[in-house]
Structure 1
Amino acid sequence: MGKIGIYGSSFDPVTNVHLWTASTVAHRCRLDKVIFLPCSGKRKDKAMKTSDLHRWNMLQLALEGNDKFLADDYEINQEAWNVYTYYTLEHFKKKYPNDEIYFIMGADLLVDIADGKWKYDQELVAGNKFIVMAREGIDMLRTISRSPLLRNHDDGSTFHLIDKGLAMEISSTYIRDEFSKGGEPRYLLPDACYEYIKKHSLYQ
């Protein structure tokens, strides 16, 4: 039995922090694979700055040469109305029935679940395991303890909290802003992605 982490994001664009975070999580949690899962541009709750195709192509370039990292286009290919994390994790549990599946997320998303903002939150928390990365200003233990849903499923293995050293805040938004204003974010993302953005005049 292996251990697989599902790492969802817009990856608009994928950054070196995404890669470093995935590598650190894989090392600390002893994951055999990390699946990078770009979300669909059809989603109403997210405004993408470039197309699904460009984001997918950059992700492929970024993951080249790392056998532990995989990209999966499952959510990109879903209709917007049907994209819920609960369904996504059910899909991957069926796809990898002999492996343990973990959903990798930031502590800000843990807060959203605690505040009842996620669809199928009961089923999601009851049937899955989570690796939660620290975010500045968020107390992860307090977030779990204040939520009846989270604390009643906190059996010691449901939530794997990763704190020290993972609160880097260089974001895709920062990189997009640098490109749009004539800045130079070259060393914040993989070289191949930087060249791809330049070639296709993205984020201008």
Structure 2
Amino acid sequence: MEKTDERTDVVLLAPGSYNPITIRHLRLFEVARDYLHFTGEYKVVKGIISPVSDGYKKKGLAEGQHRLSMTQLAVQTSDWIKVDPWECLMKDWTETVEVLRHHQQQQLVGMINEENMDQKSGCRKHNERKRDSSSQDVPNCICLECRAVPQVKLLCGVDVFESFGNPNLWKPEHIVEIVSSFGVVCVTRNGVDAQKLIYESDVLWRYRNNIHLVEEGITHDVSSTKVRLSLRRGISIRYLVPDPVLDYIKTHKLYSKESEEKNSDLVLEPLVRYTKNLQ
């Protein structure tokens, strides 16, 4: 009898500005996948990059069409990390918990569609048939009820994890839903005690078993902010971003001193939305 894989299927979802995407963004996926596989409990089936929309109003945020194109170029050689444009194409900023809900629903829809295709084709994709008591051939289908929908988990760096402590950036009820219903895979870095962040938060402590802290063995002190600064200083960023991304930046002349001032007269959308709710 063939041994079944009892690991839980996981989809790693990483929303973010990607302004621009760097090699460290891509490494987060690889490091997180290795960690989850090594636990023996999870099987990562997909990674999703979800660039934020222009409605986020972050200072220096390049236009969504550019950030979307750069992320797509960055993952063109990956066989498991994909870019989803749903969030980026929204006019208004979409809350992270809503992005997680959307992609969790998409996993269910995808499974239902796959099941329907199997039924229509007589489960030919499995190429297996079994006989019932009357010796008739019966498709050996995997029922939807017997299959677990892949779990969508938030993948982030420790800076996002630290921001959970800012009530003007996150709604408390959203943090509860994220850590309880989805789960977090946080890749930490030296100098930040993520365990302490969990210990000092009642919510994070309550759902600590659903939070995975992953230590990055080979650290990369690369960030989008430093990449943009280097570009303004005329310093090479080769090997800090994928080569196709570097070519795209040069072609479209992105990230100048002027572009860094974009949205400087605006307030970050979460701060506007949540501060208003607190008044």
Alignment TM-score, normalising by the size of structure 2: 0.67
Q: Runs of at least 4 residues of structure 1 off by over 4 A?
A: none
In the other structure, the counterpart of 1:147 is: 201
In the other structure, the counterpart of 2:102 is: 91
RMSD of equivalent CA atoms:
1.8
Whether the 8 Å contact between 2:54 and 2:61 is mirrored in structure 1 is no
2-side partners of 1:147 and 1:173: how far apart?
28
Q: 1:16 to 1:164 in 2, by over 3 A?
A: closer
Amino acid at match of 2:98: Y
TM-fit CA distance, 1:166: 6.0
TM-fit CA distance, 1:99: 0.6
In the other structure, the counterpart of 1:137 is: 191
1-side partners of 2:231 and 2:163: how far apart?
30
In the other structure, the counterpart of 1:29 is: 36
In the other structure, the counterpart of 2:56 is: 43
Larger gyration radius, structure 1 or structure 2: 2
**Per-residue deviation, residues 18-72 of structure 1 (Å, max 9, x unmatched):** 112222222222322110111112113x224321111111111111121111001
Comparing 22-31 with 34-43, greater Cα deviation is found at 22-31
SS of the residue 2:54 aligns to: coil
Q: 1:54 aligns with which of 47, 66, 71?
A: 66
Comparing 3-12 with 115-124, greater Cα deviation is found at 115-124
Q: 1:101 aligns with which of 147, 152, 165?
A: 152
Amino acid at match of 1:25: A
Amino acid at match of 1:96: Q
In the other structure, the counterpart of 1:73 is: 85
Whether the 8 Å contact between 2:154 and 2:184 is mirrored in structure 1 is yes
Q: Structure 1 vs Structure 2: percent identity of aligned residues?
A: 28
TM-fit CA distance, 1:169: 2.2
In the other structure, the counterpart of 2:217 is: 165
Alignment TM-score, normalising by the size of structure 1: 0.90
2-side partners of 1:195 and 1:164: how far apart?
28
Gaps of 5+ in 1: none
In the other structure, the counterpart of 1:14 is: 21
SS of the residue 1:32 aligns to: strand
1:63 aligns with 2:75: yes
Whether the 8 Å contact between 2:189 and 2:216 is mirrored in structure 1 is no
1:196 aligns with 2:248: yes
2-side partners of 1:106 and 1:13: how far apart?
16
1-side partners of 2:50 and 2:190: how far apart?
24
Whether the 8 Å contact between 1:134 and 1:166 is mirrored in structure 2 is no
